[in-house]
Amino acid sequence: MKKIIALNKWVYYFAEEGSEGRASDKNLLGGKGANLAEMGYLGLPIPPGFTITTEVCTEYFKNDGAYPAGMMEQVKANLQRLEQQIGKNFGDINDPLLVSVRSGARKSMPGMMDTVLNVGLTSKTIKGLIDKTGNPRFAWDCYRRLIMMYADVVMEKAAGIEPEEGKSIRQLLEEKMDEVKHAKGVKNDTELDADDWEKLASDFKEIILKTLNKPFPDDPMEQLYGAIGAVFQSWNGKRAVSYRKIEGIPHDWGTAVNVQAMVFGNMGTNSATGVAFTRNPGDGENRYLGEWLPDAQGEDVVAGIRTPNPISEYMRSKSGSQLPSLEAAMPKIYRDLRKIKTVLEEHFGNMQDIEFTIQDGKLYMLQTRDGKRNGPAAIKIAIDMFSENLIPISEALMRVTTDQLDELLHDMVDPEAEKTATIIGKGLAAGPGGATGIIVFTADEAEAMAKAGHKVILVREETSPEDVHGMKPAQGILTARGGMTSHAALVARGWGKCCIVGCGDIQINLDTRQMTVKSGDKTLTFKQGDWITLNGTKGIVYADQLNMIKPNLEENDTFRFFLSLTNTIRRLGIRTNADTPADVRRAIGFGAEGIGLFRVEHTVYNELKPMVLLAMQKLILSDDPEEKEAALKEFGKYLKEDVSDTLRVLNGLPLTIRLMDPPLHEFLPISEKNVQMLEKAMDISRKQIDKKRAELHEQNPMMGNRGVRLGIMQPEITKMQCLSIFEAAAELQLKGIKTRPEVMVPLIVDANEFIHQAKIIREVAAEVEARYGLKLDYLVGTMIETPRAAITAGVIAKYVDFMSFGTNDLTQMTYGFSRDDVAPIVLKYIQDGILKFDPFQSIDEDGVGVLIKWTVDQARATNPNIKIGICGEQGGDPQSIAFLNSVGLDYVSMSPFRVPIARLAAAQSEIARQEAVAAELEAAGN
């Protein structure tokens, strides 16, 4: 019997008809390859080609740079298929097929965009290209481009050569090109003729041989294999590795390689190349935002070598560009692009970032992918696409990351400060918001200075993928060249970072680490270390450090509408941790549905009411019972005022008030000045204060007389707090204001502690109800912040109306890590890989999370009506919110500024949970 050996498929063909892959094959074909296949499937005009899979890349690195068996044969077979389809042969000296070789990872990585165009041109095949096209200028231009790219990508980068700053092979070749232009007295590449390019191609080869000690290969297959290998190699290049680290992209994903028949945008004035977003990635406006260049190849647009033309008349008038738009120059092509926009957006249900080439009046699509966008644009696009019925609500909500939402909470330059500031330049507004920092001119220095704690603005001629490690920690990025689709603009937008590109007013001298700008008839000089400020929303650069302010989100309708969509899906309630009316108002403005934690002790530290602290200190220091009682009453009066103000703002929303928690010694003065003030105010000696401090001293105060223990040791303190709370509620109720106080007992370890305190709380409530002649709408509950309380939650639940996880203390006690001191140890643990993350920021699902889940299950078993929430810091962390949603909490509570993020995280986690349940059901049904 014949044995059938199943051969691995390493290469997939794509074409307008006959694509072997689909968009869903991104893991295998990379984003670019999968979407090229999909565009073929949609019948869009793409040049045919083939994709070598990401699996080849993984195998390549596993086997020390050896390709898997059968891969080369498949490359050859696909090349033949391509030759047949195009009707030209690779390496044919009469009419050569030329190809591009490009990388394409699963997730777009502008950090490793290695591309080699025009592969297949040699000293022999170029003659065929000249004869066939009758256009020697075009052919020599293609050749010199191949030589430049090949030398850069294959012969230098992939070979692991690290040139000095300013001395890379690409820069040396560009310098040569500038020299020729200068000698000829021209400015643009388009002004060089065939002879110039031919001469340059030969000069380039000489420079390459001299600099890299290797000749530029003159064999087409050698070029092709070299380019494929270089793209794979680039996956593990320095810049790609650092980009992946920043973006959290796994190193074992690998990149695919796309080999595609060349189409030429540089064949004359009826040819062009361009890039565009189907909607504006800066503000979400539903119009093409793009750039094109006549008689050029793709890299020219992104590299910022020539100033690109605007794509539409609308964009031209908006940017004030003098250059003709594609809409005006090639109206038919522009109309085709409009149709393609609709096809792509309807098909992918997302804003697309496209690349296209026009060869002699015919449009070709070279790439489409979901476009990166900043926070404001993400929100607008999500809402618009939902309104246009392109995506459902759930998809609209998943489209905006919590980080993008966070961008809207970012700083802006204070407009008042801008009025009097010195403008030193204007550029394109590539990344919104404001940034202020000291100038640095190289990515390495930006990284080092930022590490040393400085706020830096990275100022570059233009950025390249090698700069990402310095771009990330910079407050903002400023480049002298490049357009809205330049590297700096793309990367900054992806990160939501403030960025200005193409600021031609500045002249950078890297050697002296200085930049100069012309201001009127003066020339201003800025050194490294000088402060500047960027307004990335307007594209203006200012001298000096300007004041920054937070944007007013309460008046941002798009933001509010988007957040309102979260309410249709999320299951988790959203509360806030706040104890001042201003904070409560802000949190409610952001959509908080009540207060999950009002810490009574925070009323003591009110800068505007120093007498509250004094009353507390009197309470602690007096030995005379009458004086003590008077102090307690006085403190009760202030607490009542604060509770009343807060309940009034809440207007019927729940207010969880946590009874006094910290050890009392924390209220005694420490500084000399405060001790003296207290001595005067109380007519008490320093000795007496010190004596009291010694009495209250505990070896381990965090585990000492605090929380519920305080209330059991001094029940009168609990009583007084409850009197304040219930009287405030009753008096408001009499005025027709609805109140819902929820009294919360901290730090219990046993149900009996709660029973003890609840008796006092309910007695006071009954007394107030009788005195005011009304019924109060109140609850009594406890925090779960000790492991024992979690373990015995089933018993505790029988007596409480609600529970709230205090995960700050619960984490402290589960780990035995002091929450106030452990930060440097946790940092070291994370660096050494002992811990994966800081458990005080994100819930530790394997430890603390197990206690939380146990608590919820046990508590619900004995008290099905119990309400369970969280008020520890982790309650505002998106990852923790997903976990808390999955274990079935009723609400999460966090600081006011995190409320919007929590609303989105709660909705997204519920969508993900429902999808997982549906998938499970479907799997079970099959």
For 855-905, give the DSSP string. HHHHHHHH-TT-EEEE-SGGGG-HHHHHHHHHHT-SEEEE-GGGHHHHHHH
Q: How far is 658 from 711, CA to CA, in rounded Å?
A: 12
Binding range to ligand PEP, per CB under 6 A, among 107-115, 697-705, 805-813, 850-858 = 805-813
Site mask, ligand PEP, residues 145-164, x = CB under 6 A? --------------------
Residues that bind Mg ion (CB under 5 A): 785, 806, 809
Q: Which of 291, 661, 753, 801 binds ligand PEP (CB under 6 A)?
A: 661
CB of 661 to ligand PEP, least distance (A): 6
**Interface with ligand PEP, residue 855, by CB under 6 A:** no
Footprint of ligand PEP on residues 583-642 (CB under 6 A)?
597, 599
CA 156 to chain centroid, in Å, comes to 32
The residues with which 289 forms a beta bridge, in sequence order, are: 277
Binding range to ligand PEP, per CB under 6 A, among 439-447, 527-535, 806-814, 858-866 = 806-814
Tell me whether residue 177 or residue 870 sits nearer to Mg ion (CB atom).
870
Residue 807 binds which one of Mg ion, ligand PEP, none, with CB within 5 to 8 A depending on kind?
ligand PEP
Binding range to ligand PEP, per CB under 6 A, among 368-376, 451-459, 649-657, 800-808 = 800-808
Under 8 Å between Cβ of 308 and 291: yes
CB of 713 to Mg ion, least distance (A): 18
Structural element, H or E, at residue 771: helix 751-772
Site mask, ligand PEP, residues 768-797, x = CB under 6 A? -----------------x------------
Tell me whether residue 16 or residue 809 sits nearer to ligand PEP (CB atom).
809
Count CB atoms within 10 A of the CB of residue 394: 19
Count CB atoms within 10 A of the CB of residue 584: 25
Tell me whether residue 807 or residue 908 sits nearer to ligand PEP (CB atom).
807
Which has the closest alpha carbon to 119: 219, 250, 241? 219
Tell me whether residue 447 or residue 873 sits nearer to Mg ion (CB atom).
873
CB of 806 to Mg ion, least distance (A): 4
Under 8 Å between Cβ of 849 and 822: no
Q: Which of 851, 871, 882, 911 binds ligand PEP (CB under 6 A)?
A: 871
**Interface with ligand PEP, residue 842, by CB under 6 A:** no
Q: Is 487 a catalytic residue?
A: yes
**Interface with ligand PEP, residue 844, by CB under 6 A:** no
Q: How far is 517 from 525, CA to CA, in rounded Å?
A: 7
Tell me whether residue 207 or residue 702 sits nearer to Mg ion (CB atom).
702
Residue 547 binds which one of ligand PEP, Mg ion, none, with CB within 5 to 8 A depending on kind?
none
Pull the structure tokens for residue 288.
Answer: 């093409």
Tell me whether residue 404 or residue 807 sits nearer to ligand PEP (CB atom).
807
Residue 844 binds which one of ligand PEP, Mg ion, none, with CB within 5 to 8 A depending on kind?
none
Tell me whether residue 294 or residue 872 sits nearer to ligand PEP (CB atom).
872
* DSSP category for residue 467: G
CB of 805 to ligand PEP, least distance (A): 7
Residue 599 binds which one of ligand PEP, Mg ion, none, with CB within 5 to 8 A depending on kind?
ligand PEP
Residue among 57, 498, 503, 871 flagged as catalytic = 871
Footprint of ligand PEP on residues 259-318 (CB under 6 A)?
none
Specify the amino acid at residue 694.
A
**Interface with ligand PEP, residue 425, by CB under 6 A:** no
Binding range to ligand PEP, per CB under 6 A, among 118-126, 499-507, 676-684, 803-811 = 803-811
CB of 667 to Mg ion, least distance (A): 17
Tell me whether residue 196 or residue 809 sits nearer to ligand PEP (CB atom).
809
Residue 55 binds which one of ligand PEP, Mg ion, none, with CB within 5 to 8 A depending on kind?
none
**Interface with ligand PEP, residue 872, by CB under 6 A:** yes
CB of 874 to ligand PEP, least distance (A): 8
Query: Any residues with CB less than 8 A from the CB of 307 and at least 6 apart, and which?
Result: 323, 483, 502
**Interface with ligand PEP, residue 878, by CB under 6 A:** no
CA 126 to chain centroid, in Å, comes to 46
CB of 281 to Mg ion, least distance (A): 43
Q: How far is 257 from 30, CA to CA, in rounded Å?
A: 8
Tell me whether residue 383 or residue 848 sits nearer to ligand PEP (CB atom).
848
Tell me whether residue 237 or residue 869 sits nearer to ligand PEP (CB atom).
869
Phi-psi category of residue 608: left, alpha or beta, with phi > 0 → left and psi -120 to 50 → alpha: alpha
Structural element, H or E, at residue 917: helix 899-925
Which has the closest alpha carbon to 908: 592, 575, 590, 569? 569
**Interface with ligand PEP, residue 809, by CB under 6 A:** yes
Residue among 57, 469, 487, 498 flagged as catalytic = 487
Phi-psi category of residue 193: left, alpha or beta, with phi > 0 → left and psi -120 to 50 → alpha: beta
Tell me whether residue 336 or residue 579 sits nearer to ligand PEP (CB atom).
579
Q: Is 756 a catalytic residue?
A: no
**Interface with ligand PEP, residue 808, by CB under 6 A:** yes
Which has the closest alpha carbon to 137: 310, 4, 287, 266? 266
Binding range to ligand PEP, per CB under 6 A, among 274-282, 344-352, 546-554, 801-809 = 801-809
Which has the closest alpha carbon to 892: 593, 611, 487, 655? 593
Dihedral angle over CA of 407, 499, 285, 504, nearest 10: 170
Specify the amino acid at residue 132.
K
- Reduced to 3 DSSP states, what percent helix, strand and coil does the chain have, rounded to the nearest 5? 50, 15, 35
Structural element, H or E, at residue 474: none
Query: Any residues with CB less than 8 A from the CB of 153 and at least 6 apart, and which?
Result: 114, 115, 116, 227, 230, 231, 234
> b/e for 553-563, b at 16 or more Cβ within 10 A?
beeeebbeebb
Measured between its terminal Cα atoms, the distance across the chain in Å is 36
Residue 892 binds which one of Mg ion, ligand PEP, none, with CB within 5 to 8 A depending on kind?
none
CB of 595 to ligand PEP, least distance (A): 12
- How far is residue 750 from each of residues 9, 592, 717, 849, 872, measured CA to CA in Å? 63, 31, 20, 20, 20
* DSSP category for residue 638: H
CB of 671 to ligand PEP, least distance (A): 23
Tell me whether residue 295 or residue 785 sits nearer to Mg ion (CB atom).
785
Specify the amino acid at residue 588.
I
**Interface with ligand PEP, residue 574, by CB under 6 A:** no
**Interface with ligand PEP, residue 742, by CB under 6 A:** no
Specify the amino acid at residue 673.
K
Q: How far is 380 from 492, CA to CA, in rounded Å?
A: 19
**Interface with ligand PEP, residue 706, by CB under 6 A:** no
Structural element, H or E, at residue 825: helix 823-831
Residue with tokens 């209250």: 696
CB of 607 to ligand PEP, least distance (A): 20
**Interface with ligand PEP, residue 488, by CB under 6 A:** no
Structural element, H or E, at residue 159: none
Binding range to ligand PEP, per CB under 6 A, among 143-151, 278-286, 425-433, 802-810 = 802-810
Report the half-sphere exposure of 519 (CA within 13 A, side-chain side).
15
**Interface with ligand PEP, residue 806, by CB under 6 A:** yes
Tell me whether residue 136 or residue 746 sits nearer to ligand PEP (CB atom).
746
Active centre residues (catalytic): 487, 871
- The contact set with ligand PEP (CB under 6 A) reads 597, 599, 661, 785, 806-809, 871-872
